Structures are given as structure tokens and as C-alpha cells.
Structure 1
Amino acid sequence: MVASRGVRHDSMRARNLAVVLGEIHRSGPHTRAALAELTGLTKTTVSSLVADLLEAGVVTERGAVRGGERGRPGVAVSLSGHRVVTLGLEINIDYLAACVVDLTRTVRLRRTRPADNRNSDPEHILHLLRDLAKETIAEAEADGLRVIGAALAVPGTVEGETLRSAPHLGWRDVRVGDLVDLPFAIDNEANLAALGELWFGARETDFLYVSGEIGIGAGLVVAGSLFRGTFGLAGELGHVVVVPDGPACRCGGRGCLEVYAGQDTLLGKLDSVSELVSRLESGDRRARETCERAGHALGVALTSAVHLLDPGMIVLGGVFAPVFPWLEGPVADGLGTRLAHMRGAPPALVVSGTGPDAAVLGAAGMIIQRIIAEPAEVLGLQ
């Protein structure tokens, strides 16, 4: 497939920078000569653009690959992980997290602070997160890295730079856009976790990511892109009804998946997920029965999701990842029984490849994607 063609006009320099960097990101490393052929730009233009990208620290030239002049080996241009990095941040119910990721998607720093953020004071929590971000940025800069931008994952609905509703935090209409003095973005935790799984978990391009936390969210990735829905609210799997006359849910309904398979239900009186895993490994009957009930409810909800969305794969993440060995059977049995009438096998059920880091990695990855798509604007190469 031929790559997007560049435009030979000085006024389109920003576009051409994106074309060249995008080709390096998508299929590199390449020689300058190969980049000229792939993009349709002249060799002189490509050399000038590569020089700008080298100076900005987003690419590097080294080694030898095929594609030089007249078949001779040429110097390879590839993404650089030595200078430009992005910052991912996350507010979870019981911790704050930050990670620094370079353009090769290598994690350079990872910091987590335990915290009880339920029904919390937004100003206090954002102050703690701001301090964590500043400390993480300072540590990255001390290593010679340049933090270009940041994104934040939150357990709630987002509009612009405002967190509209995060019921488990007890927050409504909280502006977080001035959290750091960097280009900044904010998105729902499940959305960013799905993107983290796509970019860092080496998944197929079509899958449904299920984020098991106190609430249960989902992110649908189609053809390598996140499906958000008309108002950005797609993925509220936790409020799919699995038992119509079941217990009351915080949303006002009854019998929602969250009541049966959310983190609070799975843990019960236990203090942590690691304690639950220890009980499961030791054969504790009550812990195993709790997981079996949760898996059954999850199978019911996912059956509806499969009927509606037809994903090629279902990825279980969040709290579901460490207990996957005990959830997999009940969920798979439920899917298999309810989908037996469909042609072909049910979608593959797999555990997250990014574990608890999915959302914070997706946040950092969002800024990496912006750099690739708009290097002139994001890096100041005007």
C-alpha cells in the first residue's frame, strides 16, 4: 500500500513533517532515499525535514539498511527514545499514578502513590497529583529527557478539560485542564486503558477491552481506533443489567453488572486484590465462589456486547487481570452457551497484556500519537 503523499510547497512544511515522521513511525527505519520514494517528496526536501526532526530529538540516524543510493546500504532514520518523552497520569480510586514514556513506547519512569480517593476533595487530590507530576517531570529532566505533554486518565465522563462526573470519586464538574504547564489532555480511564492495550499490549486492531475497577467500563477498538459513541459515552458496561430484579445499583437501576462483578463485590471484606489472589490460590471456597458468580454475570453482560458489537477479541483488564485464571472458565462458559447459535466460535477471551498500567500507558501514548500526527505544532517546529 502506498503511503500518504507529501506536498511540495513551503506552506505545507508542517504537513510534510507529519508525513515523514508518520512514515518512520509506521514502517521505519528507512533511509532518507527510501523516505523520499515512500512519501513522494524530493530527496532535498526529505533531508531538510529529517534534519529538523533530528534537531528536535524525535528521530535518530544510525546503522545501515538497504535502500541507499544505487543499492548501497544507507543510514537508517528511526524514532529516537533518547530525548522526547510524554507523561501519563491517572487518578484511580485507591492510587495516583504517573509514567514517562519515550517515542519508542519504552517506559522510562513509573511512580504510584497509594491513596483513598473515594468521595474525596478534588482540590486536595489534584494538589497531590500536581506534586507527583512535578516530581516525575523533574526526575525525567534530570535524566536529560524533555517532557512534551501530558494526559490524565480519570474514572468518569469527560468534556473538554472538565471531569463532568466521577461518581466513585464523588466529583462533578471539576476542571483539571491547568494541572500541568504542558500541552494537556484528559479522557476516561477505560478509553485510555483500551488504547494502552492497543499501543503497548500488541493486540489485534479490533477488540473490546473491559476495565474491571470499582466501576466496570469498556473501550471498543475498531480498525486501530477507539469508538467513542455520539457523545463520548460508549462503554458503560458496568450498567448493563444482568439480573432485572437484582440488587439496587448506585446508578438508580437494579441488577447491574457492577453490583455482581465490580471490585468492591470481588473483595468483600478483604483489603486488597493481592489478598484475594492469595485466597484463590490457596483454594478458599468463598473467594472462588465469588469469582464464579462474578464470571457468570460478566458472561451475561458480554453476551449482549458481542451481539451488539461483534468484537474479534475480548480483553479483561483492571482487577479482572490478576483473577483471570478464576474468571476465565465461568465467563467463557457463559459466552459459549449463549452464543452457541452464532456461526463460528465466540470471540477469544484473553487477559490484558498491560495489567494495571493500561490506562496510564494509554494516557502517555495519546500524547505520543499527537507528536506523530502534528510534530510541527507539538514540538514548536513552525
Structure 2
Amino acid sequence: MWAAAKRTARFAVTAKWQLATLKWRLILIGIAALVLFLVILVVGILDTLTGVQNEQPTDVTFNTAGGLQVSDQVLQYRGLVESELSKHGLAEQTNLVLALMMQESGGHGNDPMQASESKCGRIGCITSPEESIVYGVEHFASVFERANRDVQLTLQSYNFGGGFIDYVQQNGGRYSKELAISFSQMMYQRVKHTGIYRCHRPSAVQHGACYGDIEYVDAVLKYLAPVAVADGVITKELLSGLRSPLAIPLNVTSRFGWRVVFGQRDNHTGIDFSCTPSDTIHAVKSGTVIYSGNRGPYGNLVQVRHDNYITAYAHLSRLGVQTGQQIEAGQALGYCGTTGRSSGNHLHFEIKTSEWSGHIDPAPVFGL
């Protein structure tokens, strides 16, 4: 009887010890997981903050003649691209196709226009740059005509495939970023089980839109941005009576032009000014609000048309105006923030000749 009692007691003590040991093991595992998470988080933050200041990779050079900002590797194909486009009566689209090539490959490899999949449904069937350009230009010309020569619809369809043109025609007939996102979401649901599609951008993750590149249009058009204020009427007009977008001294934190952000090469199409959430953002000139809402990487964005140019104010925490509203110079448009693709509170300010392209360096305008 006593022996049985001792065995029972010994079993109870052993079980209690094992339970206590398991508890401490779980606590240690939890602490280790937390430490690992914090390390990853800190490394990611440091990478983001330092990445903004990095220069362009030294093995890539850029030519800015004529407003085209592409690598010398791409420019070597200008003659062939222009020749092939001429066969389709589209020689004037040479710079656009070179910008597309820059986004696709930077001019590297045997398939600089990444045309293999559209030609034969798989990667690698094109084996020379010449073949890539001949077929890539032919494909571009076909898409361009199907899209009724709408540049934005053409570019997104080159990335998504011709099915996007049909989708747009069934949903209003005009390209929009919202349609690109919804099409990508729809297609991703159909193909994600294959495991070969993944999100390449934070905005794609945010929207669950991992089919193709929903930022493709903006990515290509950035290579066509001019690098400085040009001579002529627009410069004289910009230099007369433009107000500051902030009521505090302008402190530049990131200039116009090439940089690396979030580990990716990026052509910064505006200029960044430091500010705090309590700072109001002001219109630099009177005009009409043509956009007020959330726009992907821009976050909360206000765009104002002033005669023959547009100013843009991005990453706002709150919006104070509506699309279609007439505003006066100096009027508050919203508050400084960090919405969209941003690593901290600031104002991203742009001057451009059209809504999503034709960007001009604002620094000379403000004497910066």
C-alpha cells in the first residue's frame, strides 16, 4: 500500500516537474521569437531609412537627352527600335518603347523587351535581342492599336496581357489605376493556386493584387520625365508669384531625380519637404482641384491644375478639398502626413505638364 502511494507521489512530482519544464520552454521559445521579430523589424527599418539616401548603382549610367532617362544598355537599341516602329507607322513612339524596355530589363539579356511569354507562352523562347525587339515592337504596335492609342492602357496591357483591354472596355472604356487593381485581383484569384505568382510591391500586397504589376504605367512613364525646368513659357509662368506649399521654411529631405527607395531603383518625380502632422499644406497658386483622394504610393493626394501645368501634394494625413473645387493661392489643401509609400511625415511636391507625366524639378522654382 505504502509502495503504491510512493509511486503515485513520485509520478505526481515527475509530472509537475515536466509541466514546469514545458512552461519554461514555451516562455523561452516565445522570447526567442520576439527577439527575432524585433531584429528583423529593426533591420528592415534601417534598410528603408538608409536606402532612401543611396545613390544609383555605379554600373548603370543614364542619358537624359530629350527627357528620356534610360540606361546606355537600352539606348544601344534605339536605332533598331525606331526602325521596327517605323514599319508600323509608330516611329514617334520610340522613346515610349525604350522606357518600356528600361522597366522590363534595363536593356540586359537576350530578351530586353521580355517578349517571350507573349510570343510562345513561356520564358526563354527568344534567344537574341534582335528577335526580342522585332517581336516586342510588333506586340506593342498590336496592343497600341487595340487600345485606341491610349498610352496608359497600352502599357498596362503590355504587362497584363490583352485581356485587360477587354476588361477596361467592359468597365467604362478608359484606363484607371482602380481598374488595374481590380483586374489584377480577379486574375490573381484564378492563378494563385499555381504558386508562380507573387506580390512584387507593397501596394500589391495591400490590395491582394499580385497578378502582373499594378504600378507598371507609372513605373514606365517615370523614365520619360524631364530632369529640370525647361526654357519657355511654362518656366516664366512658374517663376511668377508662386507661393510656398508650407507656412514654415522649406527644408528639402529628398531631391528630384534618381535614388533607391525600399531597395528598389526609383526616379523621384518631385521634391520632399520636411513637415509635421500639425503643418497645413497650401496651394502654391489658384486653380482647380482635379484629384483629391488616395492614390497608391502617393497616399492621400491633391492635384491642382493651373492653366497649362499641374501641382501635386502627396502623403497628406487629411484632405481638405474635393475634386472639382476652385481654390485660391495659399488655401489649405490638407495636413502633412505619411500615407502611401512613405517612411515618415513629409510633403512630396510635384510640378508637371500632365496628370501622370511630364514632371519638372521644382527646386529651381523655389530657388533651392
> What's the TM-score once normalised by structure 2's chain length?
0.27
Higher strand fraction (1 or 2): 1
**Higher alpha-carbon Rg:** 2
> What's the TM-score once normalised by structure 1's chain length?
0.26
Higher relative contact order (CA 8 A, sep 6+): 1
